[in-house]
Structure 1
Amino acid sequence: MLQIITDSSSDLPPELIKKHHIHVVPLTVYMDGQEYTEGVTIKPRDFAEKMIHSPVLPRTSQPSPGAFAQLFQEISPLGPLLCLTLSSKLSGTYLSACQGKDISRKDVAVFDTLSGSLGHGIQILKTVELAAQGLSREEIVKKLTLFRSEMNIFILLDTLENIVKGGRLNRFTGALAKILDIKVLAQGVEGAVEVVEKIRGKKRFLQKVVETITQSRRDFSDRLLGITHVDNWEDAKYLKEALMEKVHPKEVLLNEMGPTMGTYAGKGGIIIAV
């Protein structure tokens, strides 16, 4: 039986991780002098609260190669190993998993999802689906590669506070953006993040997001859409309902965003995987 391993940045609900027997190697987040293990010692809502009140940007750290190696060694007798990781453009987690494979000397296929949050998580669920069909690991990786290339990731920044805290935008410009109520729509492109548009006002922003996603593909009937948010249930639910009405996807999975991706998205941030 295929053993699926991943890191904690996928933002899959715990019940799905448990249901599908997915092995998780957690990332670490450092904030206000404290160290937390994602999904273990800090939950999304607690993280959002602490991040909002922290004067400095939280710092995340990928799992060590040794953590991956230990897990690979422990579960290798159970079946073939397939490890799906956070985008290598955003974190060193993919490299750590590859190094862990070398240390463990086990036959592990390490797959770079070129995504994060539920863009990552949906690829894990796709793996579960393909494994249930009886496909070999090599066949699954081939189909995953195609699936990954067809996926679109949209990043909605409700505030630029984390960009200011991270030193990528000066405080004056950040304050001006707040006064003018400027929102940023970005998109994941081959694992990296590129700004698509800056829009003034939440209502116009959310309408533009729905319009952009609607135009991103012709047929959504076979798609599982993933929406995660940083303490922003209201906008996330609005987007879920609007997309269900507009594009009629197979299903929409809505969940809170964890610390790893929440650090990128910031307060009120939303990530949508299509």
Structure 2
Amino acid sequence: MIKILTDSSSDLSKEILKKYDITVIPLKVNMEGNDYLEGIDLTPPEFFVKLFSSENLPKTSQPSPTAFAETFSKFREDDELLCLTISSGLSGTYQSACMGKELSGANVTVFDTLAGSLAHGFQIIRAAELAQNGYSIGEIVTELEREREKMNILILLDTLENIVKGGRLSKFQGSLAKILNIKVILEGVNGKVEILEKVQGKKRFQKKTLEVIRHRKEDFSNTFFGITHTGNVEEAEALKAELIQQFQPKDVIVRYMGATMGTYAGKGGMIISF
């Protein structure tokens, strides 16, 4: 039997994880000297309360190879395991899972989703559905490679404060962006994050985001959108309504962003996956 496993960065609901019997190996979050297991010791709302009241950014770390090996070893010998991880360009989780595979000697295929948040989560759901429909591991991986190639990931930064704190941008650049009211749209490209657009002002920011989406596809009727946010629920729901009105997609899912991506997204940040 094929069993699906993943790390905790996919931002899928507990209901979805239970529905598809998906095993989760949590990432670790260190905040103010305290260690938490993502999604177990610390929920996303609790994480963002702590994040926004702290002067220092938390540190996230991948599960250890031993943690993966121990989880892999719990399954029966005749189970086929498919472990989908957050992008290797964002975290060392993929490498850790590969090492865990070697340590355990279990029958594991490790797949790099080249994504985070719900772009990662959508691939997990797809893998689980295919497994339930009798596809082999090889057939599932082939289909996932197609899905991964087509996936769009837009990261909307309302503030650059956390990017500055994380050393990804100088304080001068961050201050200038704040003075000029600069908002940034980042894009996931081959598993890494690149700047796509810099926009001045909130209204232009929203308009540009919708323009970018509009140019990605001609028909959105079979498209699932995923929106993850850092506690700005009303903005995320307003964006959902706009996506439904303009593109008539199959569905729009709104979820809290997890610590892995949320650490750098900061206040007002959102990720759109489709």
The TM-score bracket by the shorter chain reads over 0.9
Structure 1: 4+ residue segments shifted above 3 A? none
Q: Which residue of 1 aligns with 2:251?
A: 251
2:58 equivalent to 1:58: yes
* Larger deviation, residues 108-117 vs 212-221: 212-221
Task: Report the more deviating stretch, 113-122 or 213-222.
Answer: 213-222
Tell me the TM-score normalized by structure 1: 0.97
Structure 2 residue 25 is the aligned partner of structure 1 residue 25: yes
The residue type paired with residue 216 of structure 2 is S
Aligned-partner Cα distance in 2 for 1:124–1:17: 9
> In percent, how many aligned pairs have the same letter?
55
Offset, 1:182:
1.1
Q: Could you tell me which amino acid in structure 2 is paired with residue 24 of structure 1?
A: V
- Which residue is 2:108 aligned to? 108
Separation (CA, whole Å) in 2 of partners of 1:47 and 1:247? 32
Contact 2:221 2:249 in 1 (8 A): yes
Equivalent residue number for residue 41 of structure 2 = 41
Counterpart amino acid of 1:175? S
RMSD (CA atoms): 1.2
Question: Does the aligned pair in 2 maintain the 1:11–1:258 contact within 8 Å?
Answer: yes
8 Å Cα contact 2:79/2:107 also seen in 1? no
Taking structure 2 as the reference length, the TM-score comes to 0.97
* Aligned residue identity for 2:197: E
Q: Residues 125 and 55 from structure 1, CA distance in 2 versus in 1: closer, same or farther, beyond 3 angstroms?
A: same
- 2:233 aligned with 1:233: yes
1:208-266 CA-partner distances (Å, limit 9, x unpaired): 11111121112222222111000111221121111111112111111000111111212
Corresponding residue for residue 172 of structure 2: 172
Relative to structure 1, is the Cα distance of residues 59 and 251 closer, same or farther in structure 2, using a 3 angstrom cutoff? same
Q: Deviations over 1:105-135 (max 9, x none)?
A: 0111100000000010000011122112211
Partner of residue 155, structure 1 = 155
Instruction: Give the direction of change, closer, same or farther, for the CA distance of 1:268–1:105 in structure 2 (3 Å limit).
Output: same
> Which runs of 5 or more structure 1 residues have no equivalent in the other structure?
none
Between the two proteins, the alignment pairs up a number of residues equal to: 274
Given that 1:210 and 1:239 are in contact with CA atoms closer than 8 Å, whether structure 2 keeps it comes out as: no
